[in-house]
Amino acid sequence: MKTTPIIDRLKDQVAAFGARVAGTASLEGAAETDLAVPHAFVLALGDHAEPDALLGTATVQTVTETFRVIVCVANTSDERGQTAADRIDDLRAQILAALIGFGADGRYSRIEYLGGDFVDLDRARLWWQFDLAGITSSDLIA
């Protein structure tokens, strides 16, 4: 999956990130960055294809490509992460508003939200991940 259209959309639509959105191949790669917070990384996860709908000389399949938006916010106001968790909730709303239904330059018929989960917390930062899926329209391949 190409993550650049997703990254560009987040940069354009989520003002809190500014230009601090990038791609990564791993969570470890994202965690090693020194970007100002808040920031986000987009990580391609994989894809799943539905069985061939025609079972003939042509092929019609729907492909779902999953990706993750990994978000990092400051956690300096309280060690428990309460304020940081509230910030994550605010950013989730903005991320979903930017991406749900987005067609990613015609590549997807839509993007759907799959869920989010805690990644890590320390005295300086809270990391959270949001999983989404880009659904391609069924394509006819002869």
- Residue-wise pLDDT for 64-88, tens only, equals 999 999 999 999 998 889 999 999 9
Task: Give residue-wise pLDDT tens across range 13-53.
Answer: 999 999 999 999 887 877 777 889 999 999 999 999 888 77
Order of strands across the sheet with 21-23?
21-23, 39-49, 63-74, 125-135, 110-121
Its domain, for residue 130, covers 4-141
Look up the pTM and report it.
0.88
62 burial class (0-12, 13-18, 19+ CB within 10 angstroms)?
Answer: middle
Residues 116-123, mean pLDDT to the nearest whole number: 94
Total structural domains within the chain = 1
